[in-house]
Amino acid sequence: MRDYLLTLCVTAAVTYLLTGPVRKFAIVAGAMPAIRARDVHREPTPRLGGIAMFLGLCAGLIVADHLPNLSFVFERSNEPRALISGAALIWLIGVLDDKFEIDALIKLGGQMIAAGAMVLQGLTILWLPIPGVGTVSLTQWQGTLLTVALVVITINAVNFVDGLDGLAAGMVCIAATAFFLYAYRLWYGYGADAAAPATLFGALLMGMCLGFLPHNIHPARIFMGDSGSMLIGFVLAASAVSITGQLDVEALNEGLGGARNATHAMLPVFIPLLMPFTIIAIPIADLVLAIVRRTWRGQSPFAADRGHLHHRLLEIGHSHSRAVLIMYFWSALIAFGMLTYSVHSASMWVLLGIVGLSAVGLGLLLLPRFTPRAPRWAERFVPPRYRRRRAAVPPVAVETVPEWTPSLNGATAIGGRARETEQRPARAGR
């Protein structure tokens, strides 16, 4: 665990320290687009925050390669090299989009190319653990298509949810934390060495998000842009592909006592592939709703609008910070709820806890509709929004006698209200 924490801290530190210089570079490079109709921020803000996140990823991989307990991941597996090659391609596409705003179809093609580069180097889905059936092997074409589809869906889901300060980085950090804990449990708890790359990817992703968040919380000083949102979406998808498509359930039989228990232990991992991605269910739901909404209106699925979930929270009456925290809450509830259920699936208290927290979440969503009001005696101790509104008393009009002074075009009042006088037209040439 210490090596993972060291890798996480190095990634976060490099990302945090480089974000400031990257912000200055983005301003000089002109990566500060004008405010659009769908934007929430009011002042032009530089993009290209993904540059610092990518350099933090590279620094974390270099450090992990020199740690004794993590170096075997690079020796026995080609997955880290597959990750960095695909991440570099998707990052370059994002940098070009942040600067020149390339076409959506070109970005989609670039995402597929980056996913294909990752597949060609061995990071692909080889089999799926199906409950009641066991491990189902996939052909090369089936694994390639499923991997590319999963990567593209995840990238666009994270990209779509990147609409408020700190929202995408925080939600992906929550998902990465859940993934890291689950993969670490499979590796050290059940001796599954194939889960080691996914554990490393989760730690790297957590460091990238944690290092960037201090610069991106409201009010944001820099945006990650597509160079950052597509990058963290790609790394998250690579983690899911690694732990699901590379880990053989049959290898867990000895530690878990049978194929049925092994398949059951993989529950929080293969469900994301079938749903297809429960661990970031909120961005996936936002992506699906956006595609349906835009298609229904006769627009392109990639046409931007203000109908995302975070925009609706603002329309309900939530503040910017509270809308972000509500999205954090639901993401953590789904991700860690699945993680807790995988550990204590037979406990009824887990389900009751999830139901209770869901009720709390619904109450938070409806909070602007039921704003509490403090009693009169406690109003001085609470914020103004919780105080009762008093009826405004109209001011009494007092007639004053003006003191008139002569002027060229009429009368001017001093110390009172002036009456309108007829204005004479100015002479020509004045």
Rg (CA), the chain: 28
Backbone angles phi and psi of 387, in degrees to 5: -95, 150
CA distance 367 to 351: 24
Write the DSSP symbol of residue 413: E
CA distance 173 to 355: 23
* ∠ CA 55-60-64, rounded to 5°: 150
- The verdict on whether residue 165 carries a ligand-binding annotation is no
Q: Where are the alpha helices (DSSP H) in 101-139?
A: 104-120
Q: How many C-beta atoms surround the C-beta of residue 366 within 10 A?
A: 10
Q: How many C-beta atoms surround the C-beta of residue 259 within 10 A?
A: 16
Per the structure block, which two tokens stand in for 24?
Answer: 């200055």
CA distance 261 to 179: 20
Chain CA centroid to CA 1, Å: 26
3-class secondary-structure state, position 45: coil
Owner of token pair 């509830």: 333
- The verdict on whether residue 98 carries a ligand-binding annotation is no
CA distance 39 to 94: 19
3-class secondary-structure state, position 37: coil
Backbone angles phi and psi of 128, in degrees to 5: -125, 135
Residues that constitute the known binding site for Mg(2+): 159, 226
Residues that constitute the known binding site: 159, 226
